[in-house]
Amino acid sequence: MTTDLTPDLERLGIDVIRGLAMDAPRRANSGHQGTAMALAPAAHVLWTRVLRYDASAPHWPDRDRFILSCGHASILQYSMLYLTGYGLELEDLEAFRQWGSLTPGHPERGHTVGIEVTTGPLGQGFANGVGMAIAEQNLRARFGPDVCDHHVHAFVSDGDLEEGISHEAASLAGHLGLGRLVYLYDDNHVSIDGPTELALSDDAPARFRSYGWHVLELGEAGEDLDALEAAFHEARSVEDRPSLIIVRTHIGTPSPDHTDDPAAHGLAFGADDIRRTKEVMGLPPDEEFHVPAEVLEMYRSAGRRGSVPREDWEQRSAPVIAARAAEWEASLGASGLPGWDDALPTFGPEDSPATRQASQQCLTAMIGGVPGLLSGGADLIGNTGNALPGRPVLSREVPEGELIHFGIREHAMGAVLVGAADHGGVFPVAGTFLVFSDYMRGAVRLAALSGSKCVFVWSHDSVGVGEDGPTHQPVEHVMSLRLIPDLTVIRPADGNETAAAWRVAVEGEGPVALILSRQGTPTLPTSAARARDGVARGAYTVLDADDPDVVLVATGTEVAVALEAASSLSAGGTSVRVVSMPSWELLRSQGTEYRSSLLPDGVPVVSVEAGTTTGWAEYADASVGIDRFGASAPGSTVLRELGINPEHVAEVAAGLVASRS
3-class secondary-structure state, position 375: strand
Instruction: Give me the active site residues, please.
Output: 410
In this structure, the answer to whether residues 452 and 544 fall within a common structural domain is no
Say how far apart CA 133 and CA 141 lie, in whole Å: 12
**Does any domain span residue 528?**
no
Q: Are residues 356 and 275 in the same domain?
A: no
Q: 568 and 452, same structural domain?
A: no
Rounded to whole angstroms, the Cα distance separating 107 from 121 reads 11
Does residue 136 sit in the same domain as residue 254? yes
Contact 539, 378 (CB under 8 A): no
Looking from the CA of 301 toward its CB, the CA atoms found within 13 Å total: 14
Which phi and psi angles does 578 have, rounded to 5°? -115, 125
Instruction: Grade residue 3 by pLDDT with cuts at 50, 70 and 90.
Output: low
Is residue 63 helix, strand or coil? coil
Query: For residue range 360-371, what is the model confidence (pLDDT) as tens digits?
Result: 999 999 999 999
Burial status of residue 59 (CB atoms within 10 A of its CB: 0-12, 13-18, 19 or more): exposed
Q: d(Cα 602, Cα 294) in Å, to the nearest integer?
A: 72
Give, as one character, the DSSP assignment of residue 617. Answer: G
The residue out of 309, 324, 351 marking a domain boundary is 309
CA distance to 162, 189, 241, 363, 605, per residue, from 202 (Å): 9, 12, 21, 42, 57
Do both 160 and 37 map to the same domain? yes
Q: Is residue 488 in some structural domain?
A: yes
pLDDT tens per residue across span 173-199 = 999 999 999 999 999 999 999 999 999
Give the list of residues 6+ apart from residue 360 with CB closer than 8 angstroms, or none. 385, 386, 387
pLDDT band, very low/low/confident/very high, at 661 (cuts 50, 70, 90): confident
SS3 446: helix
Computed over every residue of the chain, the mean pLDDT equals 97
The answer to whether position 409 is within a domain reads yes
Specify if 548 maps to a domain: yes
The model's pLDDT over 26-67, given as tens digits with 9 standing for 90+, comes to 999 988 999 999 999 999 999 999 999 999 999 999 999 999
Q: What is the CATH number of the domain that holds 197?
A: 3.40.50.970
Please report whether residue 323 resides in a domain. no
Residues 27/288, Cβ–Cβ less than 8 Å: yes
Q: For residue 551, what are the β-bridge partners?
A: 577, 605
Q: Are residues 467 and 616 in the same domain?
A: no
What stretch of H or E contains 622? strand 622-624
**546 and 643, same structural domain?**
yes
Q: Are residues 203 and 147 in the same domain?
A: yes
Q: What is the pLDDT of residue 5?
A: 82
Element (H, E) at 286: none
DSSP class of 48: I
- Domain stop point among 483, 515, 547: 515
* For residue 241, pLDDT beyond 80: yes
**335: in domain:** no
Task: Characterize the bridge pairing of strands 550-554 and 488-490.
Answer: unpaired
For 325-358, the pLDDT digits (tens) are 999 999 999 999 999 999 999 999 999 999 999 9
Question: Count of domains in the chain?
Answer: 3
Alpha helices by DSSP H, listed for 307-458, are 307-323, 325-332, 355-366, 381-384, 410-423, 437-450
Q: Which pLDDT band, with edges at 50, 70 and 90, does 268 fall under? A: confident
547, 575 Cβ separation under 8 angstroms: yes
Cα separation, 74 vs 428, in Å, equals: 27
196-221 burial, b at 16+ Cβ within 10 Å, e below that, comes to: beeeeeeebbebbeebbbbbbebeeb
Residue 246 lies in a domain: yes
Same-domain check for residues 224 and 352: no
Does residue 399 fall inside a structural domain? yes
Identity of the amino acid at 493: A
Pairing of strands 576-580, 540-543: antiparallel
Strands (E) located in 333-402: 373-377
- Find out whether 127 and 415 touch, Cβ atoms under 8 Å: yes
C-beta of residue 23 within 8 angstroms of C-beta of residue 82: no
- Supply the pTM of this predicted model: 0.96
The answer to whether the beta carbons of residues 131 and 416 sit under 8 Å apart is yes
**What gap in Å lies between CA 364 and CA 366, rounded to an integer?**
5
CATH assignment at residue 567 = 3.40.50.920
pLDDT at 159: 96
| Domain-terminating residue out of 515, 549, 572 | 515
Side-chain-facing half-sphere of 291: CA atoms under 13 Å: 20
Residue 464 one-letter amino acid: G
Domain that holds residue 154: 7-309
Half-sphere exposure of 34 (CA within 13 A, CB side): 28
Please say whether the beta carbons of 107 and 65 come within 8 A.
no
CA 589/CA 608 separation, integer angstroms: 22
Q: For 399-425, what is each residue's pLDDT tens digit?
A: 999 999 999 999 999 999 999 999 999
* H or E segment to which residue 531 belongs: helix 527-536
pLDDT of residue 296: 98
> In this structure, are strands 214-219 and 576-580 parallel, antiparallel, or unpaired?
unpaired
How far are the Cα atoms of 368, 383, 528, 623 from residue 347, in angstroms, in the given order?
21, 21, 7, 29
Q: Angle 7-28/271-281 helices, nearest 10 degrees?
A: 180
**Within this chain, do residues 30 and 178 fall inside the same structural domain, yes or no?**
yes
Instruction: Please state the separation of Cα 497 from the chain's center in Å.
Output: 25
Task: Say yes or no: 554 and 442 in one domain.
Answer: no
Query: Given strand 540-543, what is the order of strands in its sheet?
Result: 540-543, 576-580, 550-554, 605-608, 622-624
219 and 130 share one domain? yes
